[in-house]
Structure 1
Amino acid sequence: MTLPLDLFRALTESMPQLVWSCRGDGPCDYLGPQWVAYTGIPESEQLGSAWLEQIHPDDRVATAAGWASAVDRKEPADLDFRIRRHDGVYRWFKTRATPDVAPDGTILRWYGTNTDVQELRDSETALAALNADLELRIHQGTEAALATAEKMRVLAASLETAQQISHTGSWSFDLDDNQVSWSAELFRIFRLPVGDTPPPFDTHHALFTERDWIALSAAIRRAREHGDPYELELQLAGASETPRFVVARGYAERDNVGVVRRLYGTLQDVTELALARRERDRAAARIAIAASSAGIGIWDWTVETGTLTWDDNMYDLYDIPRGTPVTYDDWTSAVHEDDRAEADAIVQAASASGTSYITNFRLRPSSRGVRHLRASGRGFLDHDGSPIRMIGVNFDVTAEVVAASLQEESAAQLKEFIRHAPAAIAMLDKDVCYVEASDRWMTDYGLQREAVIGRCHYDVFPHLPERWKLIHQKVLAGEVHRHDGDPFPQPDGKTTWLQWEARPFYEANHVLGGMLFFTRDVSEAMELQTELRSQTDELARSNKDLQQFAYAASHDLQEPLRAVSGCAQILRQRYHGKLDLQADELIGHMVGGADRMRSLIDDLLAYSRVGTQGAELTEVSLAEPVEEAGRNLHLSATEASAVVTVGQLPSLQVDRRQMVQLFQNLMSNAIKYAGSAPPRIEIRSWCENGSWILAIRDQGIGIPTDARERIFEIFQRLHTREEYPGTGVGLALCRRIVERHHGRIWVEPVEGAGTEFRFTLPAPR
């Protein structure tokens, strides 16, 4: 799979080797920064086949031929040649190239590396020369060889040092006597004691992994039988957590008649390089997996042919069967017609300039609807500045685009709602600048919209107290603040009383967007509250005066009244029938007037004490005060032959004593105004709209329609005292008791004779 440019560059630029890539037909189209730094020549001057100018003249023809052969065979290339450094020095490099093959066998690209092996070559050359020299001198057995033993010892020591530096050990295997010899560094590579006898050849399988020993033993067999040299990368056996790798090279030595008599070679520890390469491959695999998991499609466009190479995700994004050959024209035709020209222009511009791009576009409508893709890529130029290639990625951003569209739509709707809301609302951003405000806000604060939106709140209200700024900071920290009556300085210098609330608002992903203000001018309500407090104070004074009156009525007025009543009673007892009839009549008027006066004072006292001396409300079954009121009226009810029917009554929070007074007054009226027939009284109740309704119905003389409200006023009577005795306070007292319990009382129209009083009491919550 072809990697995106950014990922490919990130991998290649972190490697110690010189990294490059070529087109499928051979010309170079990319040289990594390591190659440019090593040669000291810009990349653009070395593309195509110009890179061959940096190859040693003695190696150039063979290198070009070897590369051409690999391209023709479509097989990996493995070449050794010298490359000129920026200071003119040539160094040996091991060059490996691998083709990227399409399913149809076409070479899409070549990827290659150059590894500096100068020190290894130097070591091998020195080793080979020393070995050859040593063997020659030993075989000749001349006195000259013995004379130079010390020199050879020094050379051997130098060779050992060179092997240690390059981590390269040497070996030989005499096929005639199966004798194996190792250099000291080879012992170190295998982590065996230096100086021990090398293990026999038939035990060498334990030194390598099973798979790699199979490959090595096959190469050794070919070297023994045919004299073929070999070079293999192998993994060593061992329990170490970090795997270890070596490059094994072997050569055959023949005798005069061409028979292989000895094998020799080197073993270089390349663990660091191998691990770096493996990590690179793993990183590439991880990137491929991540791209696949994220639904990212990767593409590669060869500009000259117009062909596109897609991975599976690209086919899935465009709803095209996997493996279908695609071209640049196929891609443009898949883009939505309204976005096609712009997308094509952006890609062509990046291709022509060798730069990167990123853009969004829609695909043509399909069974999956209209989908939005985001594309990014980079173009590559050859040494002449002509576009040759582009690599990039696509991924689906439909959800992101739809979410952004919905968010913009919601924001627009919110602004529209705020603007036309009937309340004073303002929307401020995190810098306390106006985003939107309602028309009511503008009216309440005497502002002009064009002079407010976008401006800072503190510029609109420059004399804002510091305490408000502190509140704003707390709201922008996520708190909610409110106040039911707060003075606010207007721009014209006046002070308005506000009921307000300030709360933060959040954008997508719970990011703080700013704050919302809701305000209401309660100046009039504050004035009413002031007036209400004044009236409450006046009412308190009136209640105090009323209490003083009640005290006077119960003491100062009652005292002389008792004296008058007592004298009148004595006169009646002593002189009734002893004086003339007129005197008896006057004494009777005196006694009756005193009794009426006492009843009136008692009723007025009861009326005045309803609100001031009432007991605490407790849960009472209303059947109990009805029963007690009946006992209090037992004598009058018996004399009138009254019949009282009581239905099911609720238990409510009431003042029991006042309930007795209420039922007693209403039942007493029913008995008093019964007419000629015996009184029939019915008491019932029901719950309606959160209140209990109680009804007291009689069959008496009834109440005229125009008097149904007036009868609840104090001292209002419909009959003379001679017709029906009373003080005119009873029904007024009933209304006051009901109102103290947060209810109301009225006369309900009924068909036929009689009267029905109804009153409400709150139902328990």
Structure 2
Amino acid sequence: SETDLPTRIVGISIDITEKKQYELLLQTALEQVRLSKEAAELGTFDLDLEAGSMHWDDRCRILFGISHHNPVTYDIDFVQGLHPEDRDRILRVIEQAFVKSESNGDYDVEYRTVGAEDGIIRWVRAKGKVYFNREERPVRFIGSVLEITEEVLAIQKIEELVEKRTGELAQANNELRQVNTELQRSNANLEEFAHAASHDLKEPIRKIQVFTSRLKSQIQSLLKDEDLRTFSRIENATHRMGNLIDDLLLYSHVSQRPLEMETVRLNEKVRQALVDLDLDLEEKNGIVHVSELPVIKGYRRQLQQMFQNLIGNAIKYSKKDEAPVIYITAETVIYNEKNYHLISVADNGIGFEQEYEGKIFQMFSRLHGGDQYSGTGVGLSIVKKIIENHNGAIAVKSQPGIGSTFELYFPY
């Protein structure tokens, strides 16, 4: 107007609600990132290769032992802050990260820092990305750094403990091998002694039997009933001693494995054992039923001895008022998660309480007195040894007055 006073105001209004909302969302997101980074104790770095500047946040500075907020440099603060033993390796990794064709700009390493001011050694894991221009020259290097000192020290402690335990285990294994070697040597010496002693004892026993029989014949007419009983006791004792020596010799033989196994038809081994036991079976009217048995890899003489001992055992411990009936059968089973041939030798003899299952396989162990049943207590020990020689197992199920079933497991 003529008085220079405003008479009208003209303007426009723009709705910036959405802009403010986005700004608020951005501030919220940035705050969330900041809080997450602080919670994770994550440090960040930003290297502008074109401007030649580098920015570290407070956490990154702490991980390199820097308390000041002055500008940091790549050569002084970063390179010199690397542990001397890790420096060359990390610099090579960074050089490789700066070559796009080799790394695609990816950076992921673990290394130690040495605090510039506090001298503390820290383990960190650094992950980052190198960005390239159109000419594939690196222009920016951004990443994060996370302290992993506790994790690394824990792993090192575990590794040291494992190394210590491994050393202790190796020492224990070495000592165990030495003990096993000594045990094998001792067992070999015992077996050699038993073999030699048995051989040496056979001749004196034979002479006692011969001279006793000769003396008895010479003075037969002068002997009274009590004298005859005394001679009978001498003859029985020397006979038992001879059997015991024979069994010890046999045990020493089966303790020594032949060099190689061979193909063995078990039905043939049973047949040969029955030929040897023919008179014993005939004397007690015994019957043996034999099913089709497998062909296995083994030691043929030992396997025949095994069947002879088991069948002979069934005949010996048969009931007085009932003829022995023996069944020998075979099947394939899974035993200890492996396939085995199960050979069963079952009889209808006197049996025994199941609690004595382990005892009957012990050397010289007997459940019945010698006045009831003859024997040396070595036969089943020989059977067990033969089974062990074939990497198998043996078990027995028995009931008094019902009979016994011996279960022989041979690897399939």
- How would you bin the TM-score normalised by the shorter chain? 0.5 to 0.7
- Are residue 542 (structure 1) and residue 186 (structure 2) matched? yes
Quick check: which one's helix share is greater? 2
Question: What CA distance in whole angstroms lies between the structure 2 residues aligned with 1:522 and 1:637?
Answer: 60
Helix, strand or coil at the partner of 1:685: strand
1:406-448: per-residue Cα shift (whole Å, max 9, x none)? xxxxxxxxxxxxxxxxxxxxxx9997x9968xxxxxxxxxxxx
Q: Is this contact kept in 2: 1:615–1:655, CA < 8 A?
A: no
2:123 alignment partner, one of 446, 451, 458: 451
- Are residue 576 (structure 1) and residue 220 (structure 2) matched? yes
- Are residue 686 (structure 1) and residue 331 (structure 2) matched? yes
Helix, strand or coil at the partner of 1:558: helix
Q: Is this contact kept in 2: 1:497–1:526, CA < 8 A?
A: no
Question: What CA distance in whole angstroms lies between the structure 1 residues aligned with 2:289 and 2:266?
Answer: 14
Q: Is this contact kept in 2: 1:750–1:756, CA < 8 A?
A: no
Instruction: Give the drift of 1:613.
Output: 4.8
Helix, strand or coil at the partner of 1:606: helix
Q: Which amino acid aligns with 2:380?
A: L
Helix, strand or coil at the partner of 1:717: coil
Change (3 A) 1:541 1:621: same
Change (3 A) 1:530 1:560: same
User: What are the equivalent positions in structure 2 for 1:424-503 lying under 5 Å apart?
Assistant: 451=123, 453=125
Q: Is this contact kept in 1: 2:333–2:341, CA < 8 A?
A: yes
Change (3 A) 1:453 1:653: farther
1:731 alignment partner, one of 351, 368, 380: 380
Question: What CA distance in whole angstroms lies between the structure 1 residues aligned with 2:400 and 2:126?
Answer: 71
Q: Which amino acid aligns with 2:182?
A: E
Helix, strand or coil at the partner of 1:653: strand
* 2:246 alignment counterpart: 602
Instruction: Give the drift of 1:491.
Output: 7.7
Q: Give me the identity figure in percent.
A: 35
* 1:700 alignment counterpart: 349
Instruction: Give the drift of 1:628.
Output: 0.8
Q: Is this contact kept in 2: 1:647–1:685, CA < 8 A?
A: yes
Gaps spanning 5+ residues in structure 1: where? 1-337, 343-427, 437-449, 456-489, 499-519
Q: Is this contact kept in 1: 2:350–2:401, CA < 8 A?
A: no
1:338-394: per-residue Cα shift (whole Å, max 9, x none)? 9xxx9xxxxxxxxxxxxxxxxxxxxxxxxxxxxxxxxxxxxxxxxxxxxxxxxxxxx
1:592 alignment partner, one of 236, 241, 253: 236
1:501-547: per-residue Cα shift (whole Å, max 9, x none)? xxxxxxxxxxxxxxxxxxx9633431332122112221232133213
Question: What CA distance in whole angstroms lies between the structure 2 residues aligned with 1:535 and 1:752?
Answer: 45
CA RMSD of aligned residues (A): 3.3
Change (3 A) 1:491 1:559: same
TM-score (norm. length: structure 2): 0.59
* 1:743 alignment counterpart: 392
2:403 alignment partner, one of 754, 757, 765: 754
1:558-597: per-residue Cα shift (whole Å, max 9, x none)? 2322221221121233333541112111111111111111
2:296 alignment partner, one of 643, 652, 660: 652
Change (3 A) 1:671 1:555: closer
Instruction: Give the drift of 1:733.
Output: 1.1
Q: Which amino acid aligns with 1:619?
A: T
Structure 1 ranges of 4+ moved more than 4 A: 428-431, 433-436, 452-455, 494-498, 749-752
Helix, strand or coil at the partner of 1:522: helix
Question: What CA distance in whole angstroms lies between the structure 2 residues aligned with 1:434 and 1:567?
Answer: 96
User: What are the equivalent positions in structure 2 for 1:625-664 lying under 5 Å apart?
Assistant: 625-664=269-308
Change (3 A) 1:567 1:751: closer
Indicate the structure whose relative CO is greater, using CA pairs within 8 Å and at least 6 residues apart: 2
Instruction: Give the drift of 1:755.
Output: 0.9
Q: Which amino acid aligns with 2:329?
A: R
Gaps spanning 5+ residues in structure 2: where? 1-21, 27-88, 94-106, 111-121, 128-154
* 2:81 alignment counterpart: none
2:311 alignment partner, one of 667, 683, 689: 667
1:721 alignment partner, one of 370, 394, 408: 370
* 2:209 alignment counterpart: 565
Helix, strand or coil at the partner of 1:728: coil
Question: What CA distance in whole angstroms lies between the structure 1 residues aligned with 2:400 and 2:376?
Answer: 29
1:143-202: per-residue Cα shift (whole Å, max 9, x none)? xxxxxxxxxxxxxxxxxxxxxxxxxxxxxxxxxxxxxxxxxxxxxxxxxxxxxxxxxxxx
Instruction: Name the larger-Rg structure.
Output: 1
Q: Which amino acid aligns with 2:356?
A: A
The number of aligned residues is 269
Change (3 A) 1:453 1:631: farther
Instruction: Give the drift of 1:710.
Output: 0.9
Instruction: Give the drift of 1:748.
Output: 2.3
Q: Which amino acid aligns with 2:360?
A: I
TM-score (norm. length: structure 1): 0.33
* 1:711 alignment counterpart: 360
